[in-house]
């Protein structure tokens, strides 16, 4: 079953001067792990934003998890229900605790404060940071903040995780730990995992590698890439 179906998707900025996506066609199946690669400015982050309902196309159709994302109608609800985001710079709120950061996506759900707290602690326990629940994010290392971001992405049990350069600011040892956690989530929960990366060692871990250039998909990885996965 396809969880993503994009057809002839175009997106430009600055009155058409910058063509971010130029007729993208893309399908992704439920539970697939896909990496998206390409140089800076190629359109890969714009593509991810489209999949996460953070932006809408100028033309074309986007269907994600059975939802038409070609318009702005109630996309906040869709994002909260179906999508977990992980960003390179974590996007944690600095003046509230780690647990409270994880609770933020739960505000759209009918959950009591005790239920939110309990779920946040469980998610922190899953990423090995339960003892950090009540401290502020600025007291954590970069790798720990990214693990909190993973926990937050899972707050509403999403069917799709979108990660934009999730290891880009981390050292190699920490990157390996983060990737292992993401892949374990993909394997154990059948979550559809889509990662934008510039790192081919990261990209080759995926079931499929999609290369984007000048707003177009120019290649899709074959078995030779799939079979060259590195050990995490």
> 196 forms bridges with which residues in the sheet?
36, 164
Q: Where are the alpha helices (DSSP H) in 3-157?
A: 44-51, 75-82, 98-103, 113-126, 142-153
pLDDT of residue 72: 67
Q: What is the distance, to the nearest Å, from the Cα of residue 58 to the centroid of all Cα atoms in its chain?
A: 22
Q: Which of 158, 156, 130 is nearest to 144 (CA)?
A: 130
Could you please state the CATH topology (level 3) that the domain comprising 2-226 is classified under: Rossmann fold (3.40.50)
pLDDT of residue 98: 96
Which helix H or strand E contains 32, and what residues bound it?
none
> 61 forms bridges with which residues in the sheet?
7
pLDDT of residue 222: 54
Phi-psi group of 29: left, alpha or beta (phi > 0 → left; psi -120 to 50 → alpha; rest → beta): beta
**Distance between CA 136 and CA 134 in Å, rounded?**
7
**Distance between CA 123 and CA 121 in Å, rounded?**
5
pLDDT of residue 170: 75
pLDDT of residue 209: 94
* pLDDT averages per 10-residue partition of the chain, 232 residues: 93 88 94 92 90 90 90 77 83 93 87 94 91 94 88 89 84 82 87 91 91 90 44 42
| The pair of three-digit structure tokens given for residue 20, joined into one six-digit string | 């971010």
**Where are any strands of DSSP class E within the chain?**
2-13, 18-29, 33-37, 59-64, 67-68, 83-87, 160-164, 192-196, 208-213, 216-220
pLDDT of residue 56: 87
pLDDT of residue 89: 72
* 219-224: Cβ within 8 A, 24+ apart: 221/35
Q: Which of 63, 55, 58 is nearest to 28 (CA)?
A: 63
pLDDT of residue 225: 43
pLDDT of residue 224: 40
pLDDT of residue 226: 40
Q: Which of 165, 185, 194, 164 is nearest to 32 (CA)?
A: 194
């Amino acid at each position: 079953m396809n969880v993503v179906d994009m057809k002839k998707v175009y997106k430009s900025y600055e009155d058409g001067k910058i063509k971010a996506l130029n007729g993208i066609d893309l399908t992704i199946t439920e539970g697939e792990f896909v990496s998206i690669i390409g140089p800076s400015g190629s359109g890969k982050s714009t593509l991810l934003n489209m999949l996460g309902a953070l932006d809408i196309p100028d033309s074309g159709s986007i269907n994600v998890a059975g939802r038409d994302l070609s318009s702005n109608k109630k996309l906040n609800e869709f994002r909260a229900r179906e999508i977990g985001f992980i960003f390179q710079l974590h996007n944690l709120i600095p003046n509230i605790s780690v647990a409270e950061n994880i609770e933020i996506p739960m505000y759209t759900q009918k959950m009591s404060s005790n239920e939110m707290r309990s779920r946040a602690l469980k998610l922190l326990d899953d990423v090995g940071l339960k003892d950090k629940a009540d401290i502020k994010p600025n007291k954590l290392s970069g790798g720990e903040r990214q693990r909190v971001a993973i926990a937050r992405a899972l707050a509403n049990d999403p069917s799709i995780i979108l990660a934009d350069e999730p290891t880009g600011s981390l050292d190699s040892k920490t990157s390996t730990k983060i990737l292992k956690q993401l892949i374990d989530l993909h394997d154990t929960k059948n979550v559809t995992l889509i990662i934008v990366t510039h790192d081919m060692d990261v990209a080759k871990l995926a079931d499929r590698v999609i290369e984007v250039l000048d707003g177009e998909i120019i290649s899709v990885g074959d078995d030779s890439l799939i079979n060259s996965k590195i050990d995490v």
